[in-house]
Amino acid sequence: MTLDKFRHVADRLLEPFVTAADRVGLTPNGVSIIAFGFAVLAGGSYALAGHALGPIEPTPLLYAAGAGFVLLNGWMDLLDGSLARRQGVASKAGDLLDHVLDRYADIVIIAGLAAGTTQYLLGLLAITGVLMTSYLGTQAQAVGLDRVYGGLVGRADRLAIIGIVTLVAGFYTSAIYGLTLAGWLLVFFAVVGHFTALQRFYYSMAALD
């Protein structure tokens, strides 16, 4: 998890956005919902950018839009927690809503990639890998440990990778060993997602011994 090491930098960059959100009357839950909306737009952009609706070529504009929406989802996901602390309204209910919407956001983004590339099996493997990574992170709490964020790729890293690779995918459309860059992105998350989940499982089991 590379990007989590720079969370303190992100918190400083967020300050003016937190202040602006607070002044216009946004709530942390409202920000979480807006973040999910960006994820839906990203998934839709990726589906339309590929071949889901017929024999059309991927368009750079739609991939670029999807990348932008993914990065906005990640930014707003950081903003809701900071806003909750600023307003003094951090709660377990808000944390639950945030995590539920994050999981649905992961699903719709990866499902959009799978639909756009018509690689549905890879999409299924990628989604289950991502969900198991998140599940193992929170399941540690259920057995009395702290929430586990460790592993090879966390959510912040995942969103950054999706944004960068799909932006490039809009311009580089050639297949590499039968898959486009978006298809290989699904392979990456299928493999790394399950590997990260196993890392978290091993850490939790070791901590319980």
In this structure, of 15-19, 74-78, 123-127, 181-185, the range with the lowest mean pLDDT score is: 15-19
Q: What is the pLDDT of residues 150-168, one digit of tens each?
A: 677 778 889 999 999 999 9
Percentage of the residues of the chain whose pLDDT score is greater than 90? 44
For 3-208, CATH gives: 1.20.120.1760
Q: Where are the domains of the chain?
A: 3-208
Q: What is the pLDDT of residues 40-84, one digit of tens each?
A: 999 999 999 876 444 445 578 899 999 999 999 999 988 888 888
Q: Position of tokens 């944004």? A: 163
Three-class DSSP category at 176:
strand
CB-CB neighbours of 90 under 10 Å: 15
Percentage of the residues of the chain whose pLDDT score is greater than 70? 90
Distance of CA 11 to the CA centre of its chain: 18
Q: Name which of 48, 70, 59, 45 is nearest 173 in CA terms.
A: 59
Residue 172 has pLDDT above 90, yes or no: no
- pLDDT value at residue 55: 47
Residue 133 has pLDDT above 70, yes or no: yes
pTM > 0.85: yes or no: yes
